[in-house]
Every structure is written in structure tokens, then in C-alpha cells.
Amino acid sequence: IFSNVKMGPTIEVFALTKRFSEDTNQNKVNLGVGAYRTDEGKPWVLPMVKTVENQISADMTLNHEYLPVAGLPAFRTAASALILGKDNPAILENRVEGIQVQGGTGGIRLTAEFLKRNFGSDVVYVSKPTWGNHKTVFSHAGFSQIKEYRYWDAKNLGVDFEGLKEDLQNAPEGACVILHAVAHNPTGNDPTMDQWAQIADIIEARKLFPLLDCAYQGFATGDLEADAQVVRYFVKRGFELFIAQSFSKNFGLYNERIGNLCIVTKTPDVIPQIRSQMEIIARTMWSNPSHHGARIVAMVLANPAYFEEWKSQVATMANRIKEMRQMMFNKLRQKKVPGSWNHILQQIGMFSFTGLTQDQSRVMVEKHHVFMLLNGRISMAGLTTKNVDYVVDAIQDAISS
Ligand code: PLP
């Protein structure tokens, strides 16, 4: 019965990680996966996370009972307050609900299912380029029209703002638009606040539904508040919207699959109905979320001293990445690698869109064992003071070959 099952396409980023771990070359570098690494190239368990994990394992009163379908209440409330600000009028007016989901991906999938089931939605707009999973999540949820709005201007290595506006202006009423709330993946280029205001104008005029994908709060500036400003701006403007929050990166809880789908409405009366529909979908997909990650995030966010400590650890990650940007830029210039490379410094967050072509990126992978996406994206978190020279030399060779 399985003989007709066809081999599916590989998932580029995980295929790269597998190749990296099997590669025996001593100089190999993994700039593919979007996960933080220390300057020793190692994953980092945040000390704050370790502290609460120790408390959890020592606490004999805890158990493994099911959580409510919508997740751990303390987590959902704290997560929503983190992105909106605890004194946000939407929270004070009870117009906010959080649903615990499986990472940022779970929030995006839950959104797609909800829109399809409750509004019969069929059209979604994603930036071109975008995170590799946006289109597939929506198409698997039954959306037949996956459209792209222009985003990256490959010639000027910045946001194609005129193209973006034109494409959103042509979007049909009711279409869902996925916006990267902070630190755009893969380009590392965000619109300015003035441009965000114009984007909001179009979304309002065209009656589009914004899904703010927020996977990198803290990674752009190192400051959680500053990185929430786009979300808070949209909420202040009175939009009804969803925010898919991920705690994979800023808590380093990648495999705990912890996220919050934050729902903001105009009035509180619709919240119970929305929650009930979300619960019906969650019940059929994962039934109940898992507890560990939610407990960790809730414990840290609820305790002012822990919260401060965590914030400084987020800043540590963001700052190391910024230092690597600067170091890579300096070395590219010192070694006179063709190009201005200013974009490396201008970009923010975990990723850099290097501008390397597909062929050049292939040389990086095949010849130099520098694992990166073929669209030219590198994870700055994979760079270290020890491998940056090697990577820059590889870029020089890839460009000249
Ligand atoms: N959205 C964007 C833009 C991402 O880059 C990622 C992860 O890389 C996600 C969502 C998904 O995050 P999670 O791993 O929490 O599902």
C-alpha cells in the first residue's frame, strides 16, 4: 500500500544541518540553521532557563496532568503582556487572548486553520522572500492562493518599498497578510516606522487581515520593548490582528515548541467565541499543549528579578551577533572583497542576506564546507571570532570563482 508514496522535497535547512554534522572537514561552519551559538560555536542553554529548570525538577508537588486545551493560563497572559506591554489598553479592556501553541509555527498554522474554517479565507500574502515555511503552512491548511508581495530589492540590497506598496494595494479585501514584526527572515531588513505607517494605511484601506509573525523579539536591538514597537503600533492603530509569538530563539527553547498566538480584537465580547473555535482546532491537531516550556517562560516572566536576568541574557545574544556583523564587515573590507558590504551592518537580527548568488552560495557549501542557504542567507549566530576569517576568505573565493 505504500509503493505509490513519492519522495517529498527535502527541507533545505534541516538537510544542511544533517550534512554539516556528517561532514568530517575540520573547517566546517554551520551558518544554515537559525539557532544561537556561543563564540565556541556551541548551543547555549540560558542560565536563567537552567535555574528554573532546576527548580521545576526539585519541586515534588508538580505533576504531568493535562493542560487546558488553550494552554497554561499564566503563560498565555504573561506572553501577551510581553509583546503588547502590560498596560496596553487592549489588555486593560480585556480585548486580548493568548492561546498556547507549538512555537511560532504552531501559531501560524492555528491562524491559517482558524481563518479557513471561520471566514472561508483562501488568500494569503507573504513577503518575497520569506521564511521557508510560511507558504507551505498556509497551503497545507487549505489556502489555494498563496501570493507574494515584493520585499527585497536585490540591486540596492534593501526593502523594495514601492513594490511592496503596489502589491498590497492590489490585494483583495479580506486577504491575510503575514508581516515580520521584527528582524525580517531571511533579509534582516525591516521597514522604517514611517514605512510601517504607510503599510498600516494600506492594510486598513484594503481591509486586509494582519498576522504579525514575531519570532525574534529581542534579537534586533537587544531590547525587548524596542523590538515590540511595530506590534504595539498596529495595536494602537486599532487593528484586529493575531501575533504568532515564538519563544524558540529568545529563550533558547527551540525543541520545547513553545509559542503564544496572541489575539487582539476591537471589543471583548467576541473573545470567548474566538477562543472556543481555537480550542476546537487545537483539540484536533495536538489536543493539549506540553507543559515544560510554558512553565519555564511563565516562571521567568512572572518574577521581576528573573525577568531582568533573562533580559540581560537576550541582550548578550543580540550583542554577540552585532559584534560578529561588525567583525565580518571589517574583515570583508580589510581583505578588499569586492562590494561595499554596508548592508551587512545595516541588517538586523539573526540573519544576513549576503547578496551571494546561488552559484556563489553553492561554492561556499560544496568547496568550503560553509553551510548556508542557497538564497544567500547566513545565520550571523553561527559566526565566531575563530571562524570569521575562514568564512570571509571563502566568500572572497566564491565571488572570484
Ligand atoms: N517565523 C519566522 C520568521 C521564523 O524565522 C521562524 C523560525 O525560524 C518561525 C516563525 C518558527 O519558529 P518556531 O521554531 O518557534 O516554530
Tell me the mean pLDDT in the region 17-21. 94
Which domain CATH number covers 250? 3.40.640.10
Task: Examine the domain organization and report whether 233 and 86 are in the same domain.
Answer: yes
Same domain, 171 and 290: yes
297 and 192 share a domain?
yes
Pick from 259, 240, 274: nearest CA to 79? 259
Q: Indicate whether 264 pLDDT > 90.
A: yes
Q: Which amino acid residue places its CA nearest to atom 10 of ligand 1?
A: 104
pLDDT at residue 308 is higher than 90: yes
61 part of a folded domain:
no
164/220 same-domain check: yes
Say whether both 144 and 194 belong to one domain.
yes
* 249 catalytically annotated: yes
- Of 302, 327, 349, the residue at which a domain comes to its end is 302
Supply the range of the domain harboring residue 240: 73-302
Does residue 30 form part of some domain? yes
Q: Classify the phi-psi angles of 367: left when phi > 0, otherwise alpha if psi is within -120 to 50, otherwise beta.
A: alpha
Active-site residue, selected from the candidate residues 167, 190, 213, 227:
213
Q: Tell me: do 80 and 210 sit in the same domain.
A: yes
Q: pTM of the prediction?
A: 0.97
Domain contains 52: no
- The predicted pLDDT at position 214 comes to 98
Instruction: Tell me the average pLDDT of the chain.
Output: 97
- Give residue 185's pLDDT band: very low, low, confident or very high (50, 70, 90): very high
Confidence of residue 315 (pLDDT cuts 50, 70, 90): very high
- Measured in angstroms, how far is the CA atom of residue 257 from the centroid of ligand 1? 10
CB 109 within 8 A of CB 141: yes
Provide ipTM, 2 decimals: 0.99
Q: Is residue 229 part of a domain?
A: yes
In a domain, 53, yes or no: no
| Of 279, 302, 325, the domain-final residue | 302
Q: Are 177 and 325 contained in the same domain?
A: no
The mean pLDDT of 332-345, rounded to a whole number, is 95
pLDDT at 24: 96
Query: Is ligand 1 within 6 A of the CB of residue 111?
Result: no
Q: Measured in angstroms, how far is the CA atom of residue 104 from the centroid of ligand 1?
A: 5
**Could you confirm whether 213 is annotated as catalytic?**
yes
The pLDDT, as a whole number, for residue 38 is 97
Q: Which of 116, 249, 311, 322 is catalytic?
A: 249
Residue 200 pLDDT more than 90? Answer: yes
Residues 38 and 115 in one domain: no
Stretch 122-147: mean pLDDT, rounded?
97
Cα of 210 vs centre of ligand 1, distance in Å, is 17
Ligand 1 center to residue 181 CA distance, Å?
12
In this predicted model, what pLDDT tens digit does every residue of 351-394 receive, in sequence order?
999 999 999 999 999 999 999 999 999 999 999 999 999 999 99
| CATH number of the domain residue 22 falls in | 3.90.1150.10
Task: Compute φ and ψ for 125, nearest 5 degrees.
Answer: -110, 130
Q: Which of 185, 231, 256, 348 to mutate to test ligand 1, by most ligand atoms within 8 A of the CB atom?
A: 185
Q: How confident is the model at residue 295 (pLDDT cuts 50, 70, 90)?
A: very high
For residue 186, say if its preceding peptide bond is cis, omega within 30 degrees of 0.
yes
Query: Are residues 282 and 368 located together in one domain of the fold?
Result: no
Residue 55 included in any domain? no
Q: Is the distance from the beta carbon of residue 127 to the nearest atom of ligand 1 less than 6 Å?
A: no
pLDDT at 12: 87
Residue 181: the pLDDT is 98
> What's the mean pLDDT in 233-243?
98
Total structural domains in the chain? 2
Report whether pLDDT(160) > 90.
Answer: yes
Share of the chain above pLDDT 90, in %: 97
- Same domain assignment for residues 393 and 250: no
| Whether 79 and 153 share a structural domain | yes
Alpha helices in 206-303 (DSSP H): 229-236, 271-285, 292-302
Specify if 6 maps to a domain: no
- Is residue 66 domain-resident? no
**pLDDT in the model for residue 84:** 98
Indicate whether 228 and 354 sit together in one domain. Answer: no
What Rg value do the Cα atoms of the chain yield, rounded? Answer: 21
DSSP letters, 286-345, are TSS--SHHHHHHHHHHH-HHHHHHHHHHHHHHHHHHHHHHHHHHHHHHHTT-SS--HHHH
pLDDT band at 77 (very low <50, low <70, confident <90, very high): very high
Q: Is the pLDDT of residue 343 over 90?
A: yes
| Confidence label for 401 from pLDDT (cuts 50, 70 and 90) | confident
